[in-house]
Amino acid sequence: MKIGIAGCGGRMGRMLVRHTLDTPGVLLAAGSERPGSDLVGADVASVVGAAPVGAVITDDPAALVAACDAVIDFTTPALTAVHAEQAAARGSILVIGTTGLGASDLSLLSEAAADARIVRAPNMSVGVNLLMALTRTVAATLGEEYDIEIVEHHHRHKVDAPSGTALGLGEAAAQGRGVDLDAVSDRARDGHTGAREDGHIGFAVVRGGDVVGDHTVMFAGPGERIELTHKASDRGIYARGALRAALWAQDRPNGLYSMADVLGLG
């Protein structure tokens, strides 16, 4: 299977390149970077100091998609939208780990999935997706007397908050309770806020240091507290999950899938 890595020169892009080179059954066939990057025209494997593989880094999304069977994309919402359109035009596979996608972006992905196999998840880690499944189950079991708080900690360079993973956990909790997350989400507390509202799902954000990603879902009830936690210490877990998703999508019909589908957690 020929794999292309969007944004191959970035921190996550380099991790994906390294793991693609080391994964049986896949071939590093393409890479892309932004126009004007010094990496454009270089061999993709060079971003991790590996021997050339004969694939040149391009700044053209259409050329990236055309060169491979599947593109793995951890870039930006605007660029992900372009990749989705190109994947639909060619009927190929797109694995999306991009965060910060809005309603219009998700609508575009749904449309593109009619003609492509798209796997999209706020977090590609097997462990995190298991945490989401557990969160859904616990939320469905416990009543509103258990307050739900989602606490996340990331490195100081992360630009979005709450993280896509935290929001995914919030969505899992909301699904478990059969409610709309937007209607019960509490994402900002400052000053005299008053007592917590029943049924709300709260988010707390920590930024600092070089933390790859820590997430805790807390169910705080009368006389007891249940906490589900995942701590990431190596970004390789996201790369391994993304490659697993690409290989899984080979034998699937066109459609929009999640990592829960890939892992059989649906």
| pLDDT tens column, 162-178 | 998 999 999 999 999 99
DSSP state of 113: T
Catalytic residue among 154, 192, 230, 231: 154
- Per-residue pLDDT tens digits for 33-68: 999 999 999 999 999 999 999 999 999 999 999 999
- CATH fold group of domain 2-120+235-263: Rossmann fold (3.40.50)
**Beta strands at 117-120 and 255-257: parallel, antiparallel or unpaired:** parallel
DSSP state of 131: H
- Per-residue pLDDT tens digits for 205-248: 999 999 999 999 999 999 999 999 999 999 899 999 999 999 99
**Beta strands at 70-73 and 93-96: parallel, antiparallel or unpaired:** parallel
Is 162 annotated among the ligand-binding residues? no
Angular region, 54: left φ>0, alpha ψ -120 to 50, beta rest? left
Is 178 annotated among the ligand-binding residues? no
pLDDT-derived band at 186 (thresholds 50, 70, 90) equals: very high
Active site residue 2: no
CATH 3.20.20.60: does it fit domain 126-232?
no
Active site residue 154: yes
Is 10 annotated among the ligand-binding residues? yes
**pTM, full prediction:** 0.84
Is 8 annotated among the ligand-binding residues? yes
Sign of CA dihedral 135, 138, 142, 147: negative
> What is the DSSP track for 52-102?
P-S-BEES-HHHHHHT-SEEEE-S-HHHHHHHHHHHHHHT-EEEE------
Range(s) of the chain covered by CATH 3.40.50.720: 2-120+235-263
Q: CA-CA distance, 120 to 256, in Å (whole number)? A: 7
Range(s) of the chain covered by CATH 3.30.360.10: 126-232
